[in-house]
Amino acid sequence: MEVNGTANILSSAYLAAEYVDAFLPGNPLQPSFKHAWDCMLNNYTKFQIATWGSLIVHELIYFLFCLPGFLFQFLPFMQKYKIQPDKPETWEKQWRCFKMLLFNHFFIQLPLICGTYYFTEFFNIPYDWDSMPRWPYIVAQCFGCAVVEDAWHYFLHRLLHHRRIYKHIHKVHHEFTAPFGMQAEYAHPAETIILGAGFFIGIMIFCNHVFFLWAWVAVRLLETIDVHSGYDIPVNPLHLLPFYAGARFHDFHHMNFVGNYASTFTWWDKLFNTDNQYNKHMQKEGGDKKTQ
């Protein structure tokens, strides 16, 4: 039933993409983007694009998406949106997080990124402009990747919380009971590989162009940084996604340690009732606000 439901969601996403793409006018930015893409292809080898290009995309997007949350701590009017206002970020925590990030990015993730070129060669993944999928299809494929990654993350993340395993691996990520954006990839190296595998499963299924790989990197980083941001901002386009969990959902996981195991969507936690403590917490919060 779950498989059929997922298939229906992906099928609907592709149909919607086809419909939107058929009626959209020409994108005025397309010529400039095409020129930049062609310049990249003419000046760099496929290995350089797949390896160093992917690393640059990951680092730039990661810290760019972390920047708003980092600045929020200095803006008094943003503190009303902080989910755990009694646990502010500290320079010591942020510096420790940054050092761990650099280690994970360059000693764990970079070796994996180095395999990108060989992956694209083995599966004949194109780089050229003419083979690039239209953007609605890229959006639909990224959604498909998110569904796959979310399922992987739920079950493996829940396993990492097993009492015999937790203290050896996942405890590192839970050093911060009040998460902040930069902490999204703060984890034990083993966890980076275990949970990170879900990211690559989607690529194995959907990747049909190197640009799609970068698009999925951007989407996944945006999502994980958002849910770790520590701020529940009302105007958030990601909340337009059906069943999107959001920052408050994952923030409770860091505060409570139990439940809310999924990375992006809420359906697995609803199905297995691992969001029951969160629901009780939200009901209590709602009741407390009414009595104030």
* 121-130 pLDDT, tens digit each: 999 999 999 9
Mean pLDDT confidence for 169-198: 95
pLDDT value of residue 79 = 94
For the chain, the straight-line distance linking the first and the last C-alpha, in angstroms and rounded, comes to 44
Residue entry with tokens 């697995």: 268
Model confidence pLDDT, tens digit, residues 201-214 = 999 999 999 999 99
Tokens of 52: 């160093």
Mean pLDDT confidence for 240-248: 94
Q: Is the pLDDT of residue 31 over 90?
A: no
Of 11-20, 51-60, 274-283, the poorest mean pLDDT is in 11-20
Mean pLDDT confidence for 28-46: 90
pLDDT value of residue 13 = 52
pLDDT value of residue 15 = 53
Residue 284 pLDDT class (50, 70, 90 cuts): confident
Residue 266 pLDDT class (50, 70, 90 cuts): very high
pLDDT value of residue 291 = 45
pLDDT value of residue 8 = 56
Mean pLDDT confidence for 236-251: 94
pLDDT value of residue 24 = 43
pLDDT value of residue 229 = 96
Check residues 292 and 59 and name the one with the higher pLDDT.
Answer: 59
Nearest-angstrom CA–CA distance, 189 and 186: 9
The strand pairing partners of 3, in sequence order, are: none
Burial of 65 (0-12, 13-18, 19+ CB in 10 A): buried
Q: What is the mean pLDDT of the chain?
A: 89
Q: How many CB atoms lie within 10 A of CB 3?
A: 7
Q: Is the pLDDT of residue 53 over 80?
A: yes
Nearest-angstrom CA–CA distance, 170 and 153: 13
Where in the chain are the domains? Answer: 47-73+90-290
Distance of CA 156 to the CA centre of its chain: 16
pLDDT value of residue 19 = 46
Which residues, including other chains, have CB under 8 Å from residue 32's CB and lie 6 or more apart? none
